[in-house]
Structure 1
Amino acid sequence: MTATAKPILVTGGTGYVGGRLIPRLLAGDHRVRAMARSPERLRCRPWGGHENLEIAAGDALDRNAFIRAAKGCGTAYYLIHSMNAHKGRFADADRTAAENMVAAAQQHQLSRIIYLGGLGEPDHEALSHHLQSRHEVERILQLGPATVTNLRAAMILGSGSASFEMLRYLTDRLPVMITPRWVQTPCQPIAIGNVLDYLEGCLAVPETAGQTFDIGGPDVLSYRDIIQMYAREAGLGRRLIIPVPVLTPWLSAKWVHLVTPVPAAIAQPLAEGLSIPVVCRDHRIRDLVPVHLMDTRQTIRKALDRIRQEQVDTCWFDGGGSLPPEWTTCGDANYAGGTVLGGAHRIVLAGDPETVWPTVQAVGGKNGWYFADSLWRLRGLMDRLAGGPGLRRGRRHPTDLRVGDGLDFWRVVAVDAPHRLLLLAEMKTPGDALLEFVITSQGQGRVELKMVSRFLPRGLAGILYWYALLPTHRWLFEGMLRAVAEKTALPVIDGPEKAPLASPLECRL
């Protein structure tokens, strides 16, 4: 097979589905142009340097960037979904992004768009706002010149998916559950592998163009059934589930937020999507694109195996997170955008960067933060109660990090092995916070490890927050530096001690 003449545009390339679809398309010898707000998140993937991959920087809400990304393409996969329930902004974001897709299709005469939306009868009186938005996106995409294929899915299960993580943590942690009545509502889950089969298959089958299909696995189950099925596959006892009428999706989302890594803003649309029956009404896709459908038990078993083997390709939080704040831009004065506060501490060891790096790269998640873990856990609990991610999100892999990964309540902004790791705080703070590990060879068998913290406060609250924590920074960071030295078993030559603060970010971003 030869590479397709025109590249295929994949939007949402850093997301859970897009990050798995792109390597499939590349393996099929297709040329792919992946659009992402943060191109570095794609470049650091195992397939990021593939000869048939182009990476286009662009935000879906930026029409001009969208149009530039679509230039020369023939087909587009539209995998953009706003899952943030906060302040009702998701519908506006979904609408704007879809209109930008249509504008790009008109400008460059795209022939096809393949869209992954959501199941649920459009005229159902209890259809959630998020599912209404999914159907609105379908209608907007169909206004353009490109022929649209709509695939509607309910719960997508697979290692790292938001639906699976919510199911996993609820079942693992709660032998007794007081649940909303929607746990008895029928739904038709589908394995992520089968979603990818259909997405890829529609590209190869012209008869799917201009059609809307329901896609689902072979089982129609209630959420109660799925919980009990997971418990059996995970070797847990049967869960006692008590449905009550008073738990709304909003209350359910708050409870899920406290018990699982999935934030309330994402748990709420997931819960709302299960509050009405979401089952396939037609199965035409099975004849046009025949695939081997995995049943729910097999899907859960495979997802658990992938997690145990530490082979999770993408996670639900891959596509989210903040971009580095503008004040970190190389070349800006250290007062650009406000006064940046910071501090640095260092230790000098007998060794080299390659020996220190594995310990630095493994920080967080189940490995902990090497020092004062009880305080880190307390900070994580406080953040969780305040609506932040807390520590429960963990990390995708226990030793490997790539740009865009969630790491407890941080986001990986830059990785330059074996010299540098830069983290952006996603915890609830009155300002923007960065934590940087810098490893520098000093020659003659000496290596310096430096920890640098920077904070741009928002108003007086931010300034007070920084100075309230300042007395603990030296104790905490120097304790962490000692702990890293112990884990690497390298002799300490100098420090730990306070170090000069370079400005701004030593132009390494």
Structure 2
Amino acid sequence: MTANRSILVTGGTGYVGGRLIPMLLDRGYRVRAMVRSPQKLLARPWAGHPALDILPGDALDQASFIQAGEDCDTAYYLIHSMNAHKRRFAEADRKAAENMVACAEQNGMQRIIYLGGLGDKDHENLSHHLRSRHEVEGILEAGRVPVTNLRAAMILGSGSASFEMLRYLVERLPIMITPRWLRTPCQPIAISNVLDYLAGCLSAPQTTGKTLDIGGPDILNYQDLIDIYCRVAGLPKRIIISVPVLTPWLSAKWIHLVTPVPASIAQPLAEGLSIPVICKEDMIREWVPVKLFSCEEAIRTALKRVQQEQVDTCCFDGGGQLPPEWTTCGDADYAGGTVMRRGYRIAFEGEISKVWEAIEAVGGRNGWYFAQSLWRLRGMLDRMVGGPGLMRGRRHSQKLRTGDALDFWRVVAHEPPRRLLLLSEMKAPGDALLEFRIHSKSQGQVRLEMVSRFLPKGFSGIAYWYGMLPIHDWLFKGVLVQIARKFGDSPTGSPHVFSVEKELECKL
């Protein structure tokens, strides 16, 4: 490392990047985080570290990429698409990798460190996503800046897609009908060991210009992982029936219905398990010596952190759509139409801090305080058509931060103790926002508001808004009443609809 130069970390809001940044800061490095949504990182507890710079940037925008890499000595390239439903994902991965090369070369970097995937690139059943990972390796290596390629298989840790898929499958299905790939050998690795290797490469010059396989001490198959999880969680051993007809695509659809992992992510995970993914060499163990955790230790640690609500990052953190432009300033002709809006208000005696605790705890296992069966039905319908539904719940039962997934919403503004703004990610013919506002009134009174906004897409969107309006009126008023009863006292009248002024929307 060169003095006074930073380390560029891309993918900082993702599962690995969000854990690597604080580790590098703790080890005394200066870090530059390039992210599309800086608000997501600003909500992290380490966001105010004096050695951290957070810059907006897009991997597909070469100019912003190059600018973010100024005065950086090394870059961690942790960007890749896991979404099987995005069209031309390989093209996007290719473009982003080319921009990484340009950024490194123009800023005179000494090294790029890339986290890729295990799997023989010449295997006839290599998935499109693993093939894209290998292509990215080739693009990075073709540049003038040396590259360290770390190849990993399944990553086990609290909040990882692989662990969440395993956890929900085992806990919800005492009997499983499974594909043959359940017995394909793999070499999982604990997230803590992945981070150890990523950070350790900085002080191991031997790793420069090398492609290195990283894995844990165990080579097993997915059925072995199911048995280990049962043992760690104290569950009866699951009955497994293997059949030849379940393709990765069919497996992904089933995983989508049973677990919070969407089919778009489950499919590349399943495809990756359909071929052997084991280390062919272990040179990194000599150059970056770390204590490797067994699969049982990794699962035990991950499960403990989930139970203690100490999940630092989650597979649902990264990506997610950015707030649409119309959320910035109300109606926007350029955004495609007129924003539909509806406000609901109730006043009652109470403490703002207590009301805020109720608002911040909404969703997940805590529920939505009113008509729980209706919320579950909407989540089930959303899940059936490919949406997130309610399964992904919350990262923490009481605390939220910007960027968190919350059932089928995404937190886009979190301003305690006054305002919470949620962006819908469920399948609907338009974009939707739901906002909670808390206002103080005289003599200890609180005014609580819920504001719904919807930008319809075509006639179906308009029909959806007006068709759902009576249900939303009943539902949102009921939520307000229940919050007032549980966390306040003496409501002054029933909740009522109020007019939402457009100028109040220019707050994002």
TM-score, with length taken from structure 1: 0.98
Q: Secondary structure at the match of 2:441?
A: strand
Letter in 2 for 1:426: E
Letter in 1 for 2:234: G
Q: How far apart, in 2, do the equivalents of 1:494 and 1:457 lie?
A: 32
Corresponding position of 2:158: 159
Corresponding position of 1:432: 431
Letter in 2 for 1:439: I
Corresponding position of 1:56: 55
Q: Secondary structure at the match of 2:181?
A: helix
List gaps (5 residues or longer) in structure 2: none
Corresponding position of 1:299: 298
Tell me if structure 2 keeps the 8 A contact 1:84–1:265: yes
Question: What are the Cα deviations for residues 456-506 of structure 1, in whole angstroms up to 9, with x where unaligned?
Answer: 000011011111100112211110001111221433124311112121543
Q: How far apart, in 2, do the equivalents of 1:391 and 1:291 lie?
A: 38
Q: How far apart, in 2, do the equivalents of 1:443 and 1:404 lie?
A: 34
More divergent stretch after superposition (323-332 vs 64-73): 323-332
Q: Secondary structure at the match of 1:403?
A: coil
In the TM superposition, what are the counterparts of 1:287-436 in structure 2 within 5 Å?
A: 287-330=286-329, 333=332, 337-436=336-435
Q: How far apart, in 2, do the equivalents of 1:357 and 1:145 lie?
A: 53
Q: How far apart, in 1, do the equivalents of 2:332 and 2:384 lie?
A: 36
Letter in 2 for 1:385: M
In the TM superposition, what are the counterparts of 1:42-441 in structure 2 within 5 Å?
A: 42-330=41-329, 333=332, 337-441=336-440
Q: How far apart, in 2, do the equivalents of 1:135 and 1:233 lie?
A: 35
Tell me if structure 2 keeps the 8 A contact 1:328–1:505: no
Distance 1:34 1:358, change over 3 A: same
Total equivalences in the alignment: 508
Tell me if structure 2 keeps the 8 A contact 1:99–1:140: yes
Q: How far apart, in 2, do the equivalents of 1:222 and 1:314 lie?
A: 26
Tell me if structure 1 keeps the 8 A contact 2:305–2:311: yes
Q: Secondary structure at the match of 1:85?
A: coil
Distance 1:4 1:180, change over 3 A: farther
Tell me if structure 2 keeps the 8 A contact 1:4–1:31: no
Tell me if structure 2 keeps the 8 A contact 1:180–1:248: yes
Q: Secondary structure at the match of 1:495?
A: coil
Q: How far apart, in 1, do the equivalents of 2:276 and 2:504 lie?
A: 52
List gaps (5 residues or longer) in structure 1: none
Tell me if structure 1 keeps the 8 A contact 2:262–2:387: yes
In the TM superposition, what are the counterparts of 1:485-500 in structure 2 within 5 Å?
A: 485-500=484-499
Q: What is the Cα deviation at residue 355 of structure 1?
A: 2.2
Letter in 2 for 1:126: N
Q: What is the Cα deviation at residue 142 of structure 1?
A: 1.1
Question: What are the Cα deviations for residues 91-124 of structure 1, in whole angstroms up to 9, with x where unaligned?
Answer: 1111111011011112111111000000001111
Letter in 2 for 1:295: S
Corresponding position of 2:449: 450
The 4+ residue runs of structure 1 with deviation greater than 2 A are 330-337
Q: How far apart, in 1, do the equivalents of 2:454 and 2:207 lie?
A: 51
Q: How far apart, in 2, do the equivalents of 1:198 and 1:473 lie?
A: 50
Tell me if structure 2 keeps the 8 A contact 1:3–1:30: no
Corresponding position of 1:10: 9
Q: What is the Cα deviation at residue 46 of structure 1?
A: 0.4
Tell me if structure 2 keeps the 8 A contact 1:423–1:436: yes
Distance 1:99 1:505, change over 3 A: farther
Letter in 2 for 1:248: T
Q: How far apart, in 2, do the equivalents of 1:503 and 1:334 lie?
A: 14
Percent identity of paired positions between Structure 1 and Structure 2? 67
Q: How far apart, in 1, do the equivalents of 2:495 and 2:331 lie?
A: 30
Q: What is the Cα deviation at residue 409 of structure 1?
A: 0.3
TM-align CA RMSD: 1.4
